Amino acid sequence: MPKKAIIAAAAIAVAASGAQAQSERKQLDAAESDPAKLGWMQGTPPPADKQVKFEDGSYFRFPQLRWSFSNWRQFFPTLPLHRGDAPVHAFPRAERDDIDALTFTPLSGDKPMSWKEALGANYTDAIVVLHKGKIVYERYMGVTTAASQHIAFSVTKSYIGTLAASLTAEGKLDPAKLVTDYVPELADSGFAGATVRQVMDMTTGIAFDETYTNADADIIRHARAGRAAPRRADYNGPDGFLAFLPTIGKQGEHGERFTYRTANSDALGWIITRATGIPVREQLEQRFWSKLGMEQDAALVVDAQGTPFAGGGLMVSLRDMARFGEMMRQGGKWNGQQVVPAAAISDITKGGGKAEFAKNGAYPTLPGWSYRNQWWVSHNDHGAYMARGIHGQAIYIDPKAEMVIARFASHPVAGNVAIDPTSIPAYEALGRLLADEKRN
């Protein structure tokens, strides 16, 4: 099959998973499913048919999720990441009027699409583009505003991975050590025998089903243990993310291939807490929130033990997410201070094993990519790399174009394979435009 057909087939397969319900949900386009227009949670109290609830699962159903993702905090107990009292870093503005009309060819089609059309095709909630540290483009849609703290889902992992890479560069964490050297509680689990590096790069052979549409998949059971998914009244499973991790078994060999499993990120959070004696929440606050001129305190979903959901619990404003991306693009420096060691940044941008990534087979939209320190690395001619979360959350950093894109979305489909076709080529085209290159 030619590449485009593979991508189209993969997108259809993802869209079809969850069968009829999911395909019905797909019928509303971005304008039709606009959460402001549908009136979710309007009124005091909202009428019963306009309520979006955690307990009944409606918070995670399309089209309600278009409201939920910008209002995630009211479904979960959270802890703050305090910004402290440092001044806000206000991005200079140099907005361009040539971006909306920029065209590109989606991965799964032949017809060109404009940047502006792509925002709808992607069910974008909010997007900001920085060029050389200035805002050149910024849009908010539906119920999402500059103040909204949108759930970042697995973009959270890249913050944790950057912490781990930083601690490694600073000699406080040894990726060559075994997971169990730091966390003996995992000795009887599928993590036994894995190195910290394998956890950081998701090449462990743990048994962990990451199928979001299967209510009994490990990813859902893991979330349930951490109160991040509804429990049935008779729930008697593990209580807490760190109580769930030791129950995970083994499925393959460690180190052989990349397999995206959220449990690795939560194990990594546990490891770096043990390595430093400092909880992940405090480390995120000390290293990032107190230093990057953030606009807001952010929030982290926590379980009943106060452990943050390292695999996907960050709620953050769009521009604060962009500040993190911009610090990465600047080689870890912010305001003259080295917030993340330069060695950590280069260890991320050089990427991971392309062969291990290719063996996976589930990422037709990411040919030639790799995964390193919880970041997705394109190895394209701009050296772009990404933080990625389900339903379209993204940070896209293009070092050559000196561009950072932060995007929130509420696509009906979880898997980014359905979202990449109208996103990645758009980002690449914008990178070429901003770098003053001819289109190819």
Contact residue for its own copies among 120, 133, 240, 252 (CB under 8 A)? 240
- Binders of its own copies: how many residues, by CB under 8 A? 40
- In degrees and rounded to multiples of 5, residue 285 shows phi and psi of -65, -50
Q: How far is the CB of 147 from its own copies (least distance, A)?
A: 7
Question: Of the ranges 172-180, 216-224, 237-245, 357-365, which one interacts with its own copies (CB under 8 A)?
Answer: 237-245
Q: Which is nearer to its own copies, 41 or 419 (CB)?
A: 41
Q: Cβ 344 to its own copies, closest distance in Å? A: 23
Task: For residue 274, state whether it binds its own copies (rule: CB under 8 A).
Answer: yes
Q: Which of 154, 317, 370, 378 is catalytic?
A: 154
CA distance 193 to 177: 10
From residue 379, how far is each of 137, 189, 331, 349, 354 by CA, in Å? 25, 34, 17, 9, 9
CB of 303 to its own copies, least distance (A): 9
Identify which range of 66-74, 103-111, 352-360, 422-430 contacts its own copies by CB under 8 A: 66-74
| Per-residue interface string for the shown chain with its own copies, residues 380-399, x marking contact by CB under 8 A | --------------------
Q: Rounded to whole angstroms, how far apart are CA atoms 418 and 407?
A: 16
Q: Does 297 bind its own copies (CB under 8 A)?
A: yes
DSSP string across 287-313: IIITTTT-SS-EEEEB-TTS-B-TTT-
Closest CA to 320 of 67, 83, 66, 73: 83
The single residue among 49, 55, 110, 436 that binds its own copies, judged by CB under 8 A, is: 55
335 binds its own copies (CB under 8 A): no
> What would the two tokens of residue 238 be?
């593990």
Residue 296 vs 373, nearer CB to its own copies = 296
Q: How far is the CB of 181 from its own copies (least distance, A)?
A: 16
Closer Cβ to its own copies, 306 or 368, answer by number: 306
Q: Which of 175, 171, 139, 135 is nearest to 325 (CA)?
A: 135
Query: Which range touches its own copies (CB under 8 A), out of 6-14, 77-85, 382-390, 395-403?
Result: 77-85
When asked if residue 295 is in the footprint of its own copies (CB under 8 A), the reply is: yes
Strands 333-334 vs 337-338: parallel, antiparallel or unpaired: antiparallel
In a 10 Å sphere around its CB, with 0-12 CB exposed, 13-18 middle and 19+ buried, how is residue 255 labelled?
Answer: middle
Asked if 5 interacts with its own copies (CB under 8 A), we say no
The Cα 250–Cα 204 span in angstroms is 9
The span from the CA of 115 to the CA of 126, in Å, is 13
Contact status: 229 vs its own copies (CB under 8 A): no
Instruction: Report which DSSP code applies to 170.
Output: T
Of residues 241 and 324, the one with the C-beta less far from its own copies: 241
C-beta neighbour count of 229 within 10 angstroms:
17
Alpha helices in 103-204 (DSSP H): 115-121, 155-169, 179-182, 196-200
Active site residue 370: no
Residues 160-189 that bind its own copies (CB under 8 A): none
Nearer to its own copies, 102 or 248 (CB): 248
Contact assessment for residue 406 and residue 398, using Cβ atoms and an 8 Å cutoff:
no
Contact residues for its own copies, defined by CB under 8 A: 41, 44-46, 51, 53-55, 71, 73-80, 82, 85, 88, 147, 149, 233-234, 240, 242-243, 270, 273-274, 279, 295-297, 299, 302, 304-307
Q: List the catalytic residues.
A: 154
